Chain A
Amino acid sequence: MKDEPAEIIENTPQTEQETSGSNAATPIAYEEVTLTIEAAEILERERETAEKRPPLKIRRVAVIAPVR
């Protein structure tokens, strides 16, 4: 896990640096993200893993009406 800011900035595309700067007031990353080539490769690799994985069996939480 990377934890050195200088290294992160170097590894981050320019658009990402600008995003981080302009988004300094919010901790939430709603902005568009340009993937690095490495990240795209991770996504490709993980898709193959996901396809082989047994599906996650999950339950939906029931919705209730607000009590006022």
Chain B
Amino acid sequence: MARLLTKRSFTSEDLALAEIQQFQCGPERWDGEVADWIESPSGPKSALHDMGAYRTEVWLYLDDQGELVGFGSLGQTTYTWPVGGKKKEPVNLIPFIGIHEKFKGEPKDAARDDKYAYQILDDLLACAAEKSVVSGVYALIVPNVDGENGRAINFYQNRDFFDLEIPRFEKTTGITYIRMARYLDDLVKQLQEDSADGQDSAGP
């Protein structure tokens, strides 16, 4: 049986928690970037800053023992279609997903879809689909992934994300981020069907 995560909203009070301040994703540069984001109290590389400045939502995900497994975040950005279309739409954005290094690949005995990382991503996909239904956000979700983080790229590809081939190069760090995307229409349709059936799949 799958070991299901629970979640709660991340708040400024959580910054004082040892499990936040000692949050570690691993030794790679992208691991440090993710951990810094959740641990920082302010500044442009801070979850709290983004929550205030961009109304990004951040959740902490806990295992059945109440231990912090990781976090997920969902924000919004705007995409403009090129000349000819000139369509402009708000789209869902995943600023960061972080899995504590202790829980990477866990639970070991779980099927891929039941791994903690996929539970978190799937939850974000469902939240984004809900936003598309409720507030008209375009049914697309876009994470930016460090171009050298092959594990993360595979992770998203396993959930049908594709490369938009408009990489974003940061001059100061020399890091290239890949813009990936996934349509949410299948989940939107599912939500609408569940709603029509009176079976709200949003859970408690």
A residues touching B (Cβ–Cβ < 8 Å)? 1-3, 5, 8-9, 11-12, 16, 19-21, 23-40, 42-43, 46-47, 50-51, 53-68
Contact partner of B168 (CB less than 8 A), chosen from A20, A55, A58, is: A20
Q: Report if A58-B166 is in contact (Cβ < 8 Å); known contacts: A21-B171, A27-B45.
A: no
CA distance A38 to B163 in the complex (A): 11
Q: Which residue of B lies closest to A51 (CB)?
A: B185
Contact partner of A42 (CB less than 8 A), chosen from B59, B162, B177, is: B162
Q: Say what secondary structure dominates the interface of chain A.
A: loop
| A29 with B93: CB separation less than 8 A | yes
| B179 with A33: CB separation less than 8 A | yes
Q: Say what secondary structure dominates the interface of chain B.
A: mixed
Contact partner of A35 (CB less than 8 A), chosen from B7, B79, B93, B176, is: B79
Contact partner of B79 (CB less than 8 A), chosen from A19, A32, A66, is: A32
| B164 with A39: CB separation less than 8 A | yes
CA distance A41 to B83 in the complex (A): 12
Chain A residues contacting B204 (CB-CB under 8 Å) are 62-63
Contact partner of B147 (CB less than 8 A), chosen from A1, A29, A31, A43, is: A1
CA distance A5 to B148 in the complex (A): 13
| B165 with A39: CB separation less than 8 A | yes
